Structures are given as C-alpha cells and as structure tokens.
C-alpha cells in the first residue's frame, strides 16, 4: 500500500515524499493529471495533492482525474491542492492581490490532523497568492492564522483535508506530526523500513529474473548505487556479471578499493582496464560536453565488447534512483530538469531489458540498504562521483599529467576532510584543476603554478545544495598541505556558490 502524491509543480513535492517515507510509509510521486488507472497501479491507501505555481482560477488550471474521488480514499490537499478541493466541492477561492510568503503562526488549530501538537501557537510556512473565502457546504475550518481565517479545512465525512500552509518544509516544525496524523487516519501501514524494503527488492529481482534463471549484466561505477545493486543481486542468488571499467579517470586507488570491497562479498566482478583507450580519445578535447560525449561513446564500445565476450545476457541492471526518474519526467507545470540514462548513456538498442530495482528509492535509502547488505563504509558512505570522472573536473584538456595532479590533490582534500571529521558532514566534496596559473614564491624562487579550486556542499539529495561552511583553520591546513606536496599547484581557492545558481560540478 502507498501514499500517492499528485504533483502540480510545487518546489516542495519531493519533500512531501521524503517526509512520508521518514514516517515509514511508502510514497510515490505521479504527475498531477495522472489517470485513475495509473494511480491504482500503486495500490494507494491515501492521496496527497501538492501545491503548485498555477491558480485554480485560471482557465485550464491543472486538476486530478475526476474519477479519483470515486475511489473513496482519504485526500490531503496542500496549498494549491487545498484550493482545488474547496473549489471542486462548492467553496470559493479569490486572488488576494498579494503573495503571502514566509512564516505564520496558527492562532487556532483543532481536529484529527492536529492531534498531539503543542498547545502553544505553532509556526507554519505559507506560500500562496489565492485564498479560500467560503467553504463547501458543511465543511469546517480546523486552523487559522492572524491573517488567514481559513488556514486548514476538513470535509464533513472526515475523508478530505486541506491546509494552506506547507507541513513538509522545515519551517513548519510540527509538520511531521500533521502528516503522521494523516497517515494514521488513512490507515497507511508504517512498514517502509530498510529491512522490509530489502525483502521486497529481493523478491522483485527474483521475479524479474524467473527465479534467477535469467542472466544479468551490471555496470559497476564504484559508487554506492551500483555497488549496492551488485550486492543485492548476489544476496538474491541471481547469476550476474558486474563489469567495472577503469577509464583512467578514477580517483586515487579507486579501482583497488572497489575490488577489495566487492570481491570478498561474492560479487562476480570483472575489471576492464581501458584507461589508455579513454585518455587517447580525449586528447585535444577541451569542451565539457564534447568530453562527456567521447567518454560515453567509448564506454558504450567497451561495454558492448564485454557483453559479447561474456554473454549471453537477458537483463541490464542499472542503479537508477528516484531523483533521476523525477528529474527526467518533470512535473505538472514545470520543465524536465535533465534526462538520465545510467551506465554512461547506454542506447536503447543495446539488446537487453532493463532491471532497475532502485528506481523508487532516494540516495539515503540506498545507503541504508548498503549497510544491511554489508557494503563497507568506504563505498557505502562515499560522496557522489560523476560518470565522466576527473575529466570534467579539469577545465580544459584532460592530459595524463593534469589527471595525475588533480588525482593527488583530490585525495589530499578528501583525506583531510576525514581526518578532521568533516567528510560525513558534507554531501559532496571535490577539487577542480583550472587552466589558470598564478605567480607564487617558494623559498627564494618564483613559481608559476596551477590554481586549484576546492568545493564542498551540504545537501539532502543533490537537487539543491549549499556551500559547506568549512572551518577556516581546516581550509588553511588543506591549502598548505596541497601546495606543499604538489609543486605544480601554486594557489588554492574555495568555491562558495550554492546550487542554484551554480551546479555542484563545475562542468
């Protein structure tokens, strides 16, 4: 059973899904206009209508399939979702002429959704420009603020709920209490735990492989997603070959770390050394998109060769995560952010059916599965690393010499973060080798060295990120260590740009 979240373009929709899962209930995000048939495939026990940038007063404003209400499911409307419910059942919504955005305080709250909340006036987060001014027949107000006399509503049968504020954001401190009450009212089972998730995934992959009879090909990158998937296939008793392509663009000692972590755990791992092939193909290329295309093309070539050599295979396993699916699909009223196709952009005609057991999981959920499956922390807790590797952390041509310099600098930065106890406090940390050189002095001699940029960010899922406030003493320590041990680097700078407007990677 699940909670289906219908997305009408809110910037907070993913947070709703995360909060529901944090309460140990399974949630899935579907487009706002999803059909009842699409909704029913997920065995819904309750539905949440998200907020969104549209107004219910606009012609053609998005709304769910009308047949949704024939399912007799508990429904919670948030912001736009509340306004839609009110209008749909005969109430009235008007434009306010101004946008209410920011903190507010509930001066009154009552009813099942607010059970267990502190009696003091709780803070909530508003973000809307329309307001409900008249309720549908027999509906009642369950919360109000000083400026908003209808901040939450409830239908007479106790099945439909609406709130003008956002319970999913951290600025509504007791929002999880409200969401937990909704789950309790709806009878949603609170069994979305790592242990139960692992049981379901093992059953799923055994079903997709006809009890393990179909052979599976998996590309291992060394990251937590593909490594955990390799262990899942092993635990499920699935005949598989995990191919790890060393393209010469890896971090220091990464190949050895992957092999030492996975081979003892029973993963059928095959390492292919294609470093000369990739580095030769990148010679003279400076444009970042061209680098990605070349690396993707070479990877496809290597992977196809290995598939022919070691096949036949029936399924291609990928570590696709839920954020990849959401970003690729976009949402109601919002553009698709980017397309994802894991395994270096493998084409559709590679000849296998896809097996993507993690496509409805978030990164932190995969990390918990990794711990259950015994993946060492060196891989299970490691920071994300791009498929094109260090090639896109070198501005300009990725030559063997520049790769060596960056590989050493990156290792010094990461090891220092671990020494100072800062590694797990950051979502991702990296070093970028710029083509710019600057004058320095070493002893009594002039030195003309590269400028190296360090970047570290904090995040939940990588969609947005804030630059990490690393201690000044640490930055001084790591800059001194890098310039002292790598003579080709003459200056170290620290990137303090958040995402947005920047991306986490530089290229």
Residues designated as active site = 79, 166, 168
Tokens of 452: 């190296």
Q: Are residues 243 and 272 in contact, defined by beta-carbon separation less than 8 angstroms?
A: yes
Instruction: For 353-395, give the DSSP string.
Output: EEE-TTTT--HHHHHHHHHHTT--HHHHTPPP--TTGGGGGBS
Q: Taking CA 117 as the corner, what is the angle to CA 116 and CA 118, rounded to the nearest 5 degrees? A: 120
504 closest CA partner among 431, 428, 452:
428
Q: Which residue matches tokens 């819904």?
A: 44
Distance of CA 123 to the CA centre of its chain: 28
492 closest CA partner among 441, 420, 434:
434
d(CA 460, CA 62): 29
Kind and range of the H or E run holding 449? strand 445-458
Q: Are residues 315 and 208 in contact, defined by beta-carbon separation less than 8 angstroms?
A: yes
Half-sphere exposure of 369 toward its Cβ, with a 13 Å CA cutoff?
A: 28
What are the Cα distances from residue 499, in Å, to 62, 388, 496, 505?
A: 29, 20, 10, 10
Query: How many separate helices (H) and strands (E) can be counted in the chain?
Result: 15, 18
DSSP 3-state assignment of 17? helix
Instruction: Give start and end residues of each alpha helix (H) in 99-241.
Output: 175-186, 194-208, 224-235
State residue 437 phi and psi, 5-degree precision: -115, 150
387 closest CA partner among 207, 217, 305, 507:
507
For residue 162, the cross-strand partners are 77, 153
Kind and range of the H or E run holding 300? helix 288-310
């Amino acid at each position: 059973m699940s909670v289906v979240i219908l997305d009408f373009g809110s910037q907070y929709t993913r947070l709703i899904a995360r909060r529901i899962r944090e309460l140990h209930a399974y949630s899935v995000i579907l487009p706002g206009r999803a059909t009842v048939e699409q909704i029913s495939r997920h065995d819904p026990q309750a539905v949440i209508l998200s907020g969104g940038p549209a107004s219910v007063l606009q012609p053609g404003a998005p709304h769910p399939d009308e047949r949704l209400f024939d399912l007799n499911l508990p429904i919670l409307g948030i912001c736009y979702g509340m306004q839609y419910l009110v209008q749909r059942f005969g109430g009235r919504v008007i434009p306010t002429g101004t946008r209410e955005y920011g903190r507010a305080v509930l001066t009154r709250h009552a009813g099942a959704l607010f059970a267990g909340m502190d009696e003091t006036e709780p803070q909530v987060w508003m973000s809307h420009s329309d307001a409900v001014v008249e309720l549908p027949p027999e509906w009642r107000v369950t919360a109000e603020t000083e400026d908003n006399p209808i901040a939450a509503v409830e239908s007479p049968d106790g099945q439909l709920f609406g709130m003008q504020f956002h319970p999913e954001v951290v600025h509504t401190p007791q929002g999880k209490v409200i969401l937990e009450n909704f789950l309790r009212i709806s009878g949603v089972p609170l069994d979305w735990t790592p242990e139960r998730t692992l049981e379901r995934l093992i059953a799923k992959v055994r079903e997709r492989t006809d009890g393990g009879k179909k052979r599976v090909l998996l590309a291992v990158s060394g990251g937590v997603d593909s490594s955990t998937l390799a262990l899942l296939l092993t635990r499920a008793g699935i005949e598989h070959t995990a191919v790890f392509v060393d393209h010469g663009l890896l971090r220091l000692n990464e190949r050895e770390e992957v092999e030492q972590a996975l081979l003892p755990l029973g993963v059928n791992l095959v390492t292919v050394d294609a470093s000369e092939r990739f580095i030769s193909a990148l010679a003279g290329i400076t444009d970042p998109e061209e680098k990605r295309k070349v690396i993707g093309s070479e990877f496809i070539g290597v992977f196809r060769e290995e598939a022919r050599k070691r096949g036949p295979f029936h399924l291609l396993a990928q570590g696709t995560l839920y954020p990849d699916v959401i970003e690729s699909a976009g949402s109601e009223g919002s553009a698709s952010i980017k397309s994802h196709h894991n395994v270096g952009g493998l084409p559709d005609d590679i000849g296998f059916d896809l097996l993507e057991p993690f496509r409805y999981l978030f990164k932190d959920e995969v990390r918990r599965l990794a711990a259950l499956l015994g993946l060492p922390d060196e891989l299970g807790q490691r920071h994300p690393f791009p498929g094109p590797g260090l090639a896109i952390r070198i501005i300009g041509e990725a030559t063997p010499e520049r790769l060596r310099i960056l590989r050493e600098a990156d290792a010094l930065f990461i090891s220092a973060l671990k020494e100072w106890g800062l590694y797990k406090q950051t979502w991702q940390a990296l070093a970028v080798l710029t083509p710019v050189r600057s004058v320095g002095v070493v002893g009594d001699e002039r030195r003309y060295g590269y400028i190296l940029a360090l970047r570290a960010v904090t995040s939940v899922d990588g969609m947005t990120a804030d630059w990490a406030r690393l201690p000044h003493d640490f930055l001084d320590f790591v800059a001194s260590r890098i310039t002292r041990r790598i003579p080709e680097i003459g200056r170290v700078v620290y990137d303090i740009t958040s995402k947005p407007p920047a991306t986490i990677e530089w290229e």
